[in-house]
Structure 1
Amino acid sequence: MKILVSALEVSSNIHLKALRPHLPKVEWLGVYEPLNARDKPILSPKNFSVMGFKEVFGRLFFFYKALKTMARLAEQADLVLLMDSSSFNIPLAKRIKKAQPNKPVLYYILPQVWAWKAYRAPIIEKHCDKLAAILPFELSYYQDKAQFVGHPLLDEIKYQKTEVGGKSVVFMPGSRKQEIERILPIFVQVAQKIGGKKVLVVPASFQGLDLNTLYGAHLKLFEVSFDAHKSLFEASFAFICSGTATLEAALIGTPFVLAYKARPLDFFIAKNLVHLTCIGLANIFYNALHHESPGRGQTMLHPEIIQDDLNAPTLLEIYETLDREKFLQESQKIRTYLQHGSAQVVAEWIRHGLRA
């Protein structure tokens, strides 16, 4: 079987890596991180790693060419697997279905229509054959093609705390250069005020790169780790840029504060387009657990310090005062809510040509 996969994000490729052992005989085409010598992606996800409205606008021609190339490549595939990245993958699904109406298309890691652009849900359903929802509350936005399959992080995370404590403090300033430039200097100020072992978690995809160039002279303050899950498990507390890492910390049971700062223009646009009370995935799920609108509730599992509020004194105060015992107890409710991993269910669908 040949599968055209469009996995443009770091997190999507982590989820794809967990899925692939369940599909050992598949030949993979498209955009993804290669895992062995047989893998021949046409483009790297790194080619799509842009942030902010200005950067996206500047690369529109590249995205257009990539769409055309991927749509043509779909002719060679038995099935198409789309993962997250709605701005690229929804137009790709439209192109593929227009040219090949009978080509099976599976969307795994659905766009966050519950956060904004809910009108995309019927568009996604029209151009895809099956939708693998990793959040239970996503189902209410679709008619009949979506099914909850579990959450991929429960396939991937092998650690879970049973008691409060740890031997280090973890800092995770993001996976994009722009994020690191904005957030790391504040994390450095925090690290200089905290005693003991301090660990900087670096994305595994950065291995082999010049970390001193990426992170600057203050890199020597930290022990560097490429293993986020192990480092979070061993930590007593974490300072985390927004993203999948916040949910990873919650599922492991490590207390943390979400710390995020975008470019002023991007923040202004997003604030006026997306009316959310929280941005952390764990908080969004925690809203749902308390029968609140996900992302728009008031019940929070962890603090979120965003934009102009983000500064070292505020982060240090949270570090000193956050109730670790309560966090550990409440965070495990997220695990129960998400039930189980998703890779086995999705692989079964694929093996049966989406007829499972």
Structure 2
Amino acid sequence: MTATRTAHRDVRLYEVVRSAHLERAHDFEPATIIYRDRRYDYDASLEPGLDLTQAGDVRAARIIARSHVQTLEVNEPLMLSAARRTALSVAAVRAVDALRGSHTSIVSYAIENLEPPRATGPRGRIGRWGRMRLARYVHRNIDRLAFGTDAAWDLYHDTFSAGRRQSTRIIPALPSAAEGGGTGQREAVVGFLGAFDERKGLRELLAAWPHVRAVRPDARLVLLGKGPLQPLAEDAADDDPSISLVVDPPRSAIPAALRSVKALALPSQPRERWREQVGLPIVEGLANGCVIVTTQESGLSSWLAAEGHHVVPSDAGPETLAAALVAALDDPRTPQEVLDALPLVDGRRAADQWLFERAIA
């Protein structure tokens, strides 16, 4: 049966849903998730026990309007690809509030750290202007806005002028320690987890790998993921016995894989319309006691550098990236010492508890 109302009074409106959203939903207080599309890593086995509805922009707004929503979490305002969808649902909520004399709490979690790119041509400029107008409308109607990184807070402060007062808080998007994440010493293994594409820096990592092996002949590289650069990963694994490849590993296998890795590499590369906001592989690597090697693109780069992880410029050459990888392999910290720097409560969970006005454990 097609849903016409939500099963819960708390609702999360997503543009794209992925496995990590479903995993968190099982850990968070019950809420209905309304989404438009699924990410490549969506695992349907995580669906049981959750109230999930796939709906287009207009239908999502209708469902929300027909439901007695108490708190609505929306896509962050600067997710311009979802501006129309988000604005329609916000408008629906506020229209119902006006009719009922009520006030639905609208909240959002922001990690965007890339200024909206300038458009070219009349149509492009008009489209950008329209999306930014919608983004400002959404921003004005948000009651609570949590920022997962300092970079996101800075961007929002620079983009939106002061207007209606809203509650804001920076809650770093850092994980808490995963169970078993701090056990044992680890061999000289570098891990890459995630999409095999140009943005995530797989090509740069493979270019740096011979330089790592020249200094650390015992080093091994494990590639876990899938994507358009899979042929490149396959060729590298075929040509170099120190490189192993695991294509599209199940989510259940990832924690164990990360607990065998000393350093997690995510040398993200910027694009005109994309910048690494946080990097889920970084979060999962930290939770499992890995030393991180990444670029300055991640919104967590300042925290990582301050905590002794290894951050290089995105345009660093193979030798520079290799030096950071070797330093990570030589890092004397145990996995438990990496975990000791993490918060007791997962940052995304803490943000959710604050957004939905629940006591933070």
TM-score range, shorter chain: 0.5 to 0.7
Aligned positions, number: 287
Taking the aligned partners of 1:300 and 1:122, their CA distance within structure 2 comes to 38
Structure with greater proportional helix content: 1
Contact 1:197–1:223 (CA under 8 A) maintained in structure 2: no
Structure of higher CA gyration radius: 2
The one-letter code sitting in structure 2 at the alignment partner of 1:157 is A
Selected match of 1:255 from 266, 291, 307:
291
Residues 229-249 of structure 1: per-residue CA shift (max 9 Å, x gap): 433332223332332323443
1:1-356 to 2 correspondences below 5 Å: 1-2=7-8, 3-8=11-16, 10=18, 13-24=19-30, 26-31=31-36, 33=42, 34=44, 35-36=46-47, 41-42=53-54, 67-77=57-67, 78=69, 79-83=71-75, 86-101=79-94, 102=97, 103-108=104-109, 110-112=110-112, 116=115, 125-135=139-149, 141=157, 143-147=165-169, 151=173, 153-154=175-176, 157-161=178-182, 165-172=185-192, 174-175=194-195, 177-179=197-199, 182-183=203-204, 185-186=206-207, 189=210, 194-195=217-218, 197-202=220-225, 215-220=233-238, 221-224=243-246, 226=250, 227-242=253-268, 243-258=279-294, 278-285=296-303, 301-307=309-315, 309-311=316-318, 313-322=319-328, 324-325=331-332, 334-336=341-343, 340-343=346-349, 346=352, 350=356
The one-letter code sitting in structure 1 at the alignment partner of 2:143 is D
Q: 1:210 to 1:132 in 2, by over 3 A?
A: closer
Unaligned ranges ≥5, structure 2: 1-6, 98-103, 117-131, 269-278
Taking the aligned partners of 2:256 and 2:230, their CA distance within structure 1 comes to 23
Contact 2:145–2:166 (CA under 8 A) maintained in structure 1: no
Query: What is the CA distance between 1:316 and its match in structure 2?
Result: 3.1
Query: What is the CA distance between 1:138 and its match in structure 2?
Result: 6.6
Residues 76-104 of structure 1: per-residue CA shift (max 9 Å, x gap): 45353335572234443322223331354
Residues 173-200 of structure 1: per-residue CA shift (max 9 Å, x gap): 6425344674464266468764354322
Taking the aligned partners of 1:148 and 1:134, their CA distance within structure 2 comes to 6
| RMSD between superposed Cα atoms in Å | 4.6
Query: What is the CA distance between 1:321 and its match in structure 2?
Result: 4.0
Percent sequence identity is 14
Which secondary structure does the structure 1 equivalent of 2:186 belong to? coil
Q: TM-score normalized by structure 2?
A: 0.59
Q: 1:89 to 1:159 in 2, by over 3 A?
A: farther
Taking the aligned partners of 1:283 and 1:132, their CA distance within structure 2 comes to 19
Q: 1:28 to 1:250 in 2, by over 3 A?
A: closer
Q: 1:86 to 1:16 in 2, by over 3 A?
A: farther
Which secondary structure does the structure 2 equivalent of 1:92 belong to? helix
Q: TM-score normalized by structure 1?
A: 0.59
Unaligned ranges ≥5, structure 1: 44-65, 260-277, 290-298
Query: What is the CA distance between 1:16 and its match in structure 2?
Result: 4.5
The one-letter code sitting in structure 2 at the alignment partner of 1:218 is A
